[in-house]
Amino acid sequence: MSDKAWGGRFDEQLSDTALRYSASVDIDKRLAAQDIRGSIAHVEMLASRGVVTDDEARAIVEGLQAIAMEIAQGTLTWDAAREDVHMNIEATLTERIGPVGGKLHTGRSRNDQVATDMRLWTREACDRTCARIDRFLAVLAIRGRGAVEILMPGYTHLQRAQPVRLAHHLLAWAEMLDRDRGRLADARRRMNECPLGAAALAGTTFPLDRAMTASALDFDRPMRNSLDAVGDRDFLVEAVAALANCAVHLSRIAEELVLWSSQEFGFVTMTDAFTTGSSIMPQKKNPDMAELARGKTGRVVGDLVSLLVMLKGLPLAYNRDMQEDKAPVFDAFDTVEDTLDVLTGCVASARFEADRMRAALREGFLDATEVADWLAARGIPFREAHHITGRLVSRCVREGLVLAELPLDAWREEHEAFDETIFEALDLEAAVERRDLPGGPARRRVRAALDELVSRLDARGVQLDEVARSTGAEAAP
């Protein structure tokens, strides 16, 4: 059999144009470690079932291990004429140990082989990405512990709305990312079934022990249906969907860092390690890493769309279209992992400007809701209280005042219920503390939420001290 013409069915070799178009080794060689691991498990199972001899299996395993070492060292030469990672490894093995190398593929197809490789690789990638999310979460916990006493405006519609604690805002980021981690972990659990033994689409006549190979590769079980095993890639769609969601969350965090680092906000100062200058304006310090995190989100969303469109019209079982699953999956994981690293560094090293945040609380009538709540607590229907407060705010705007500067007579002109205690309600620290509900920004709730986040991380083996040393993160500011 030539490398270009598969078996005796073909009289001509593949054209150079078709070879270039169909070769995938430059992309799928990233699966080499998983391919070799799967091959070793397969041939050891074949030996246990008497399909190959122990000596044959030993020669194949030793040959594969030698090839794996060369790949790890970067000394193996990849040949595009052999199309993909699978045939490069198998052909190299046969060249080195002789015809016995051809027995490796007994009872197996490239269809179940690549499906297994992709599950192995994606499973590992999910673990890597989850670890990076945990690292970011640890940084948020570290910075949050020092930010409990820092008040800042909370926003809706990008308008100052109500006061919150900076730590509460950082914890909101953490909740977003922790859900992303959960989605990846859930996708990992569902993909942990082994396609090996499905062969091309209908299994094989050889007496394979599918449970043995599944166990050897740390899968929970063999896949239940051979057509589904080789014909679907929903496990990739699910993982990349989780990545796309994570990328969107990272983009939203990045956007806030961009806004906060502007002169208009001035809430955060980014370090030189994560900013760049201008080619013409020497005064500029641009939050380029955060901006790139925002921009790269489109790539990950595109990767998800690419997978979905590739699959949407495919009949069962395997189709060559599925070769195109690898580039978007690799790109999505690479991009999200890099973005997590960059934003972890940005947040770990940033200086939060507590004075600027507190100063921003003085404008925008962030205490207006306290007035409405004060009235409602005294039996005034909230909708009426809302209108009364709105009229008071309108008066302040006309007169260039804040609510606390209005004399009591002005308050009583709007409603007779007002008395001196209204001024106590306008204290923003007290306003935050009155929101003493689970999930709220009151001091004890925020501290409890931080402790709970640290406990979750500790249960996953994440040590804050170690993360602090590796990132330089310190309690905010």
Q: At what angle do helices 110-145 and 85-97 cross, to 10 degrees?
A: 120
Cα distances (Å, whole numbers) of residue 152 to 157, 249, 363: 16, 21, 12
Element (H, E) at 248: helix 234-260
Q: How far is residue 472's CA from residue 209's CA, in Å, rounded to a whole number? A: 50
Lookup: tokens for 98: 């002789």
Lookup: tokens for 131: 């670890």
Q: CA-CA-CA-CA torsion for 104, 109, 111, 116, nearest 10 degrees?
A: -40
Q: How far is residue 64's CA from residue 379's CA, in Å, rounded to a whole number? A: 79
Query: Per this entry, what is the length of the chain?
Result: 477
The residues carrying an active-site annotation are 157, 278
Is the CA virtual torsion 361, 366, 371, 374 positive or negative? negative
State the residue for tokens 């799928």.
28
Q: How far is residue 196's CA from residue 45's CA, in Å, rounded to a whole number? A: 11
Q: How far is residue 198's CA from residue 116's CA, in Å, rounded to a whole number? A: 10
Lookup: tokens for 352: 């939060």
The C-alpha angle 78, 81, 86, rounded to 5 degrees, equals 60
Lookup: tokens for 344: 């972890």
Residues 6 or more apart from 144 whose CB is under 8 A from it? 166, 167, 170, 171, 174, 446, 450, 453, 476
Q: How far is residue 46's CA from residue 48's CA, in Å, rounded to a whole number? A: 5
Is the CA virtual torsion 412, 418, 422, 425 positive or negative? negative
Q: How far is residue 185's CA from residue 118's CA, in Å, rounded to a whole number? A: 16
Cα distances (Å, whole numbers) of residue 193 to 122, 243, 319: 12, 21, 20
Q: CA-CA-CA-CA torsion for 90, 96, 98, 101, nearest 10 degrees?
A: -30
- One-letter identity of residue 276: T
